[in-house]
Amino acid sequence: MRSYAEYLDVKLEILDLTMPPDLVLQLGKSMNGYFSLLFLDVLNEDFVWLDSDLILKPGWEKIFDKPRSKALASKTVIRAVPDRQVTVGQLRKKGTNGAFLLNADNYFNCGMMWLSPKNWKKFKFDSQWQDVIRSGPKLGLEFIDQDILNYLLHDNVELIPKEFNYMPGDFYIPEPLITHFAGYPKPWVMSPKAKAMYFAREAINWNRPQFRPSREGAFKSEYLDYWRQEDEMLSELKADRPELYEEAIKRKKEITADLNLQERLKYLLMQLVTVEFQNLLTRNRHVLTGVQRDLWNDYSPGN
Ligand SMILES: [Mn+2]
């Protein structure tokens, strides 16, 4: 992280944060999902939280310009974007999530948040959040920091436009400033086969949005966009800092996920079904167009 920040000429500071021991025990691995609460306690100036699964487009910094009314400025602890329609719909139907029940009309997503530690402390949320986690299971909380913050801040939130936290799979908005790859699959872990399955599902369900991975969203332009940007980033890195590039590729391979057995069987069936029997005999080699090559791009050696 330090070498990469230096390469980008970005100032990086690493903070040590401490979680109370009983919460470390209670939360286990999911503890990483609660760091935003520790930052609210430790920092003093307003700050912006950005998940690591976001793509920022030029202009995203507009979030700092949006003027606020005085009344809001003295009260608002968080500015965030409403969560995906699908998520809100599921939570409404289930009716057991205590955070959602308190904040059903303004239930927000925590991938991108503008936060005010001053107001957080003014309203004494710093002395409440740990107990909310402790009673989390009783309250039906499920989404890490997001539910703690929705539960506590339902009266201290200002919703901002979805262009600041557009989630693929939500109703499409043109030209989002921040795209948030919330949920699964994450575009950076997909093997070539996983990518192919993804697009096959999108295409074959063109008239059944409930079965498309993107639901009501745009036909996965966001994923193509991600892969294009990742390619660009890696080829720049390869030219400028080969040792960082090697490290990035190594890490990328470690997290690349292939299809499970059930999906592999579907994949084989789909390949069988989509053979063009008429020209099976005359076809003797693969023909790839430029677009197909983009989709099948992977980072194995010699490819
Ligand atoms: Mn996220």
Query: Is residue 301 a part of any domain in this protein?
Result: no
pTM of the model as a whole? 0.84
Which domain does 266 fall in, by range?
184-295
Q: Are 152 and 108 in contact (CB under 8 A)?
A: no
Kindly give the distance from the C-alpha atom of residue 182 to the centroid of ligand 1, in angstroms, as a whole number: 5
Kindly give the distance from the C-alpha atom of residue 252 to the centroid of ligand 1, in angstroms, as a whole number: 18
Q: Based on the domain organization, do 132 and 196 belong to the same domain?
A: no
Q: Based on the domain organization, do 156 and 192 belong to the same domain?
A: no
Q: Based on the domain organization, do 60 and 20 belong to the same domain?
A: yes
**pLDDT attached to residue 146:** 92
> pLDDT per position in the chain (303 positions), as tens?
999 999 999 999 999 999 999 999 999 999 989 999 999 999 999 999 999 999 999 999 988 876 677 777 889 999 999 999 888 999 999 998 989 988 999 999 999 999 999 999 999 999 999 999 998 888 888 888 999 999 999 999 999 999 999 998 788 888 899 999 988 788 899 988 888 888 888 888 888 888 887 766 655 578 888 888 999 999 999 999 999 999 999 999 999 888 999 999 999 999 888 877 666 666 656 666 555 555 555 444 443
Query: Is residue 7 a part of any domain in this protein?
Result: yes
Q: Based on the domain organization, do 270 and 122 belong to the same domain?
A: no
Total count of domains within the chain: 2
CATH number of residue 96's parent domain: 3.90.550.10
Tell me which residues have their CB within 5 A of the ion that is ligand 1.
51, 53, 111, 182
Kindly give the distance from the C-alpha atom of residue 54 to the centroid of ligand 1, in angstroms, as a whole number: 7
